Amino acid sequence: MENDVNPEEIKKVSHPKKPKEGFFYNVFHNGPFLLFALPGAIWMIFFFYIPVFANVVAFKEFHFSPDGFLASLMQSKWVGFENFKFLFTSDAAWLITKNTLLYNLGFISLNLIISVFFAIIMSELRHKRLVKVYQTSMLLPYFLSWVIIGYFVMAFLNPDKGLLNMMLHTDINWYAEPKYWPFILLFIGTWKGIGYNSILYFATVMGIDPTYYEAATVDGANKWQQIKNITIPQLVPLMTLMSILAVGNIFRADFGLFYQVPQNSGALYNVTSVLDTYIFNGLTSTGDIGMSSAASLYQSVVGCVLLVSTNALVRKLDGESALF
Amino acid sequence: MKKWVKRAVGLSLLAITAVGLTACGSKKSASDNGTPTLLMYQIGDKPKNYDKLIANTNKVLEKKAGAKLKIQYIGWGDYKQKMSVIVSSGEKYDIAKADNYAVNAQKGAYTDLTSLLPKYAKSAYDDLDPAYIKGNKIDGKLYTMPINSNIYSTQVISFNKKYLDKYNINVDNINSYDDLESAFNQFHSQNKKVLTFSTGPNLRIGSNLDFAIDQNYPFAVNAVDSGKKIINPYDDPAYLATLKKFHEYYKKGYIAKDAATDNTDRPLSGDTWFARQETQGPFDYGDHQLSQTAGQEIVSRAVSPAIKSTAQAQMYNYVVSNNSDNKEKAVKVLGVMNSDPEVLNGLVYGEKGKAWKYVEDDKRVELLKGYKENYHSAPWQTGDNNKITPTKNITDEMVQTRIQDTKDAITSPILGFQFKTKNVKTELTNISNVMNKYLAGLQTGTSDPETTIPKMNKELKKAGYDKVQKEMQSQYDTFLKDQK
Amino acid sequence: MINKKKKKKIDSVSVHSFSKGADLFFNIVVAIFAISCLIPLFFVVVISLTDENALATYGYRLWPKVWSFAGYRYLATMGGELLRSLWISILVTVVGTLINSTFTSTYAYAISRNTFKYRRFFTVFCLITMLFSPGMVANYIVVTNFLHLKDTLWALILPMAVSPFNIIVMRTFFKRQVSESIIESARIDGASELRIFTQIVIPLAVPGIATISLFAALGYWNDWFNALLYIQSDNLIPLQYLLMKIQANIEMLSASSGMGSQFGGSLLAIPKEATRMAMVVIATLPIAVSYPFFQKYFVRGLTIGGVKE
């Protein structure tokens, strides 16, 4: 079975590095691993590497041809960076970029701290049954779509009939007061994802070799010292990893959170406009596929640059934790 | 552990087999005996008796058009997205309801029907209100077979008859948004629990203006004065006055405090509202249609003139794909669907004999017990409304009024003007974003026009309003010149 | 194997536990948060039982003034359709999760091994897919024209058959939890790589695999977009898409307010909010209650981790 190397595989692994014992020796030697990676790699070719080339449409003035998409793509006029312009020329460009970045930085740090906090606490609670109940409930918001959460928030913040105004005996028109919204959005965005995000850390804590803790207990370390010296260090690689990956998506915002939860209220645009809502509001009526893929490409390229630099930084600090 | 692995393997084998079986079961057999089956994408939910409806339709189509039809329904919410993927990917289909007609036609997604329609769908084509043809031509070419239906529209304020009677409110003299004051006041002072004027972030006020792109872009002409200038509606005194009135109503509590963000649904059939804004056209037969849908009596007063506009002309456009293999037959099918009463009645009312029957010498239709929701399709998205036999309760007088009203309606000067966005795409996107910020607030009366509009106009200017206006004006001038 | 060593087994429960005081305090903290997560679902259930007119008059309340089962009654009218969709959803979720976790772990295992010469290449190969997006139209063409999967269940399964994110996460898991020395000793014993993977690596990585399986299952269960793109037959519609369609119809209606007369009575008759919320209840409960099943393996993995010497 190990000898059964797919010819396609050989092509793919043609790596610039000079093989020591000859290329075929290497492929043979790494056969089993190549086979392990094969299904995933084929999937990536089909569902990513082939279709991703369609992104050239970002540089085209798209025009349909009766002979299908490829023909349309080829025959469309090349317009360079024309489709990207709308992302930079508007007055709001700086604002939305700033909003997107700041919110995402907020989410990355809040998510990290709170998820790890909950994961550790959950792993240490004495009633394991209760932990199951807690975790299941914490996962529930993940299933609710933003539309539903939008309603839920509305039930609290509705100026006339909302619970919050009734309880506080205030008369605040929440959907017209931008100053509260950065906190509301940060809170809700983090709250919704905590259950999901903490699962990963929880599983990691549960996977830490228990002998470490035993030894620590024998040495007389208290709980806090155990957490500080065993659990957290063991979690650091995953924390680093998650942060690096999140940085790669720092230019993408959760559309639903910023669109549905503030009910797309115009009065709040200064604090709720992020790249994704801006693109949506700008392009829904025209539906220009060139401009929308330009926007997505822009988000990807910036994310890519940031990811590579973060990774380089991490590698300098701690080679083991770096992604590549 | 071993047991776990075994179980997982067993389970996966079982499940994969199941997938295989389900997949096999879904394979369809394509029969082909000379008459091609055309694929048509329709918006909405599939009627529950689709097989019967389409069999009946196909009987006629086979004879008259030499083709059969397969209608694939796509839900209301998915249509835009799915159709845009289908069109962009170049997947083959024959007929569809156009999505984003003007833009896609300009990009070459549809077949040019200018010469095909008079040739293969003559009767349907000839009976179209001329405004449909004018409103759908792009650079002199027609890419669609529009459905003859509500060619003009007017904004009306509809009142819940129950409340009008209960509080003895007279609305006969209401002809504008200004006139609403006293009726609103009477109601609101007596009933604070029920919302006086139900409006929402998606409603746009009616006016004498007709919009060049759509109501969300601030480019309009005065339709009543057959305006030659592209103006910013928010600079138009009459439009501005209405917005101010709305703000007044808002301050007086007639409009919900959260109207700009509120999506609460107040059903037409319910009692949670006193007045609301609706759109009506000729085939509504006054309040007949609205009352029927609501299941309760509704009284409406028009607050804007009846205008034949591009938006109305493009309400429901059938298009033939540019990659269809059977373009001529597709046009023939559209011709039959927009002219043959048997096909139309069969689709719009359901099964003949079971859901409806002819009365009064086949001039009217009586609905029978078998007429049920989800067992037929809506007239405005099926075919020429003129050719559908009216129901029994539509009198000849009502038909006459309809014909007269259609004649009297104002034809917008901008009807048929298709703005080419090519040179100002970036600016338009920016403008769209600015408008999104202010539209809902202004249109629901939530924000004060006095302070908001100057702010908005300033942002519009920065977004490139003047450039777009200039471009549009020059295109419009050419358009007007070509009309003569 | 585990049972024999029972005496030596180190239990998760014994090493992880707070002192009693801290336990109480943190229980309260977590409980408060958990309740804050439960309230919205409670709220959803309540609204699904609220009368539509009361909703318009009094707004959303945590305790309705007028109760009504209209939402569920409406959904019950399409009982057969719902059950069929539920079956499709379960099928897709189960098969998809199995495929996804297999492909994801094998790939992740390969790139986690320092002995694999091309690990860096494959890591980057995977990473790139996370950063860029191929675009909907292009994906659509691959699935329909190249793979000919339109209107089959595979169109719901394959587009999500591998998750690059999970690969990267699993890679860290494998790196941390499966040390090279264990594998090396197995190799010396003459075990094949496949045997090493199934008999040694997988058991050691159960918590990680349980996690990514859970993520995959959630992903499959919540997915409606692939169905929107690829499914046309009524009998292949998964639950989420069915609900999504109803939901979209409702939204379409409120967005086109003012066109009341044009939309036939069928849509207007739906008790909108209640139906919407009833749908959420129906779509959430089956998957939410399956969570404890996955969680079992987080703990089980640990006990196995404990016996390794």
Q: Residue C67's beta-bridge partner residues?
A: C50
Q: What is the DSSP letter of B315?
A: S
Distance from CA of B137 to the nearest CA of A (A): 19
Lowest pLDDT segment from A213-222, B228-237, B264-273: B264-273
**B357-363 mean pLDDT:** 87
Q: What percentage of residues in chain B have a pLDDT greater than 70?
A: 92
pTM: 0.85
Lowest pLDDT segment from A26-35, B450-459, C117-126, C205-214: A26-35
pLDDT at B30 over 70: no
- A97, with CB counted inside 10 A (0-12, 13-18, 19+), is middle
Say if C122 is an interface residue toward chain A (CB within 8 Å). Answer: yes
- Is residue A100 within 8 Å of A258, Cβ to Cβ? no
The pLDDT tens digits of the residues spanning B249-277 come to: 999 999 988 888 876 767 787 888 899 99
Euclidean distance between CA atoms C231 and C214, whole angstroms: 25
Which residue in chain C is spatially nearest to A291 when comparing CA positions?
C135
Better pLDDT: B171 or A92: B171
**C76-100 mean pLDDT:** 89
Structure tokens at A177: 């007061």
The pLDDT tens digits of the residues spanning A25-44 come to: 776 667 888 888 899 999 99
ipTM of the complex: 0.84
**C274-293 mean pLDDT:** 80
Count of beta carbons in the 10 Å neighbourhood of residue A250: 20
The pLDDT tens digits of the residues spanning C138-185 come to: 888 888 888 889 888 999 999 999 999 999 988 888 887 777 888 888
Residue B165 host element (H or E): helix B161-166
Q: What percentage of residues in chain A have a pLDDT greater than 70?
A: 90
- Phi first, then psi, for residue B357 (nearest 5°) are -145, 160
Euclidean distance between CA atoms B157 and B171, whole angstroms: 10
The pLDDT tens digits of the residues spanning B61-82 come to: 888 888 999 999 988 878 888 8
- Is residue B236 within 8 Å of B222, Cβ to Cβ? yes
Chain B residue numbers with beta carbons less than 8 Å from the beta carbon of A264 are 201, 261, 436, 440
The pLDDT tens digits of the residues spanning B275-304 come to: 999 888 898 888 888 888 888 899 999 999
The pLDDT tens digits of the residues spanning A181-209 come to: 999 999 999 999 898 888 888 888 887 87
Counting as contact any 3 or more CB pairs under 8 A, the partners of C are A, B
Q: Return the sign of the alpha-carbon dihedral for residues A15, A17, A18, A19.
A: negative
For A:148-207, CB contacts with C below 8 A are: 148-149, 151-152, 154-155, 158, 160-163, 191, 194-196, 199-200, 202-207
Best of B24, B39, B42, B76 to disrupt the C interface by mutation (most C CBs within 10 Å)?
B76
Structure tokens at B201: 């972030």
The pLDDT tens digits of the residues spanning B443-476 come to: 999 999 999 999 999 999 999 999 999 999 999 9
Chain B residue numbers with beta carbons less than 8 Å from the beta carbon of C136 are 85
- C48, with CB counted inside 10 A (0-12, 13-18, 19+), is buried
The pLDDT tens digits of the residues spanning B100-157 come to: 888 889 888 999 999 999 999 999 999 999 999 999 998 889 999 999 888 999 999 9
**C258-272 mean pLDDT:** 58
The pLDDT tens digits of the residues spanning A118-132 come to: 999 888 887 878 888
- Is residue C96 within 8 Å of A23, Cβ to Cβ? no
Hey, where are the domains in chain A?
7-82, 84-321
Three-state DSSP class for residue C44: helix
- Is residue C68 within 8 Å of C53, Cβ to Cβ? no
Show the domains of chain C with their CATH numbers: 70-307 (1.10.3720.10)
Better pLDDT: B308 or C187: B308
Output the furthest CA–CA distance in chain B (Å, rounded).
86
**B169-182 mean pLDDT:** 91
pLDDT of residue C8: 42
Residue B69 host element (H or E): strand B68-74
pLDDT of residue A181: 93
**C53-59 mean pLDDT:** 72
Count of beta carbons in the 10 Å neighbourhood of residue B478: 11
**B95-99 mean pLDDT:** 91
Half-sphere exposure in the Cβ direction for B9 (13 Å, CA): 7
Which residue in chain C is spatially nearest to B295 when comparing CA positions?
C265
The pLDDT tens digits of the residues spanning B391-420 come to: 888 888 999 999 999 999 999 999 989 898
* First and final C-alpha spacing in chain B: 85
- Is residue C111 within 8 Å of C124, Cβ to Cβ? no
User: Looking at domain A84-321, what is its CATH homologous superfamily?
Assistant: MetI-like (1.10.3720.10)
For B:243-272, CB contacts with A below 8 A are: 256-258, 260-263
**C254-272 mean pLDDT:** 59
Show the domains of chain B with their CATH numbers: 37-149+315-346 (3.40.190.10)
Count of beta carbons in the 10 Å neighbourhood of residue A324: 17
Better pLDDT: B308 or B30: B308
pLDDT of residue A7: 45
Residue A91 — pLDDT band, cuts 50, 70, 90?
confident
Say if C33 is an interface residue toward chain A (CB within 8 Å). Answer: yes
Name the residue among A73, A47, A68 with its Cα closest to residue A290: A73
Distance from CA of B462 to the nearest CA of A (A): 7
Lowest pLDDT segment from A22-36, B311-325, C293-307: C293-307
Lowest pLDDT segment from A215-229, A291-305, B2-16, B211-225: B2-16
Say if A139 is an interface residue toward chain C (CB within 8 Å). Answer: yes
Q: Alpha carbon C11 to chain centroid distance?
A: 28
Q: Whats the size of chain B, residue-wise?
A: 484
pLDDT of residue C303: 44
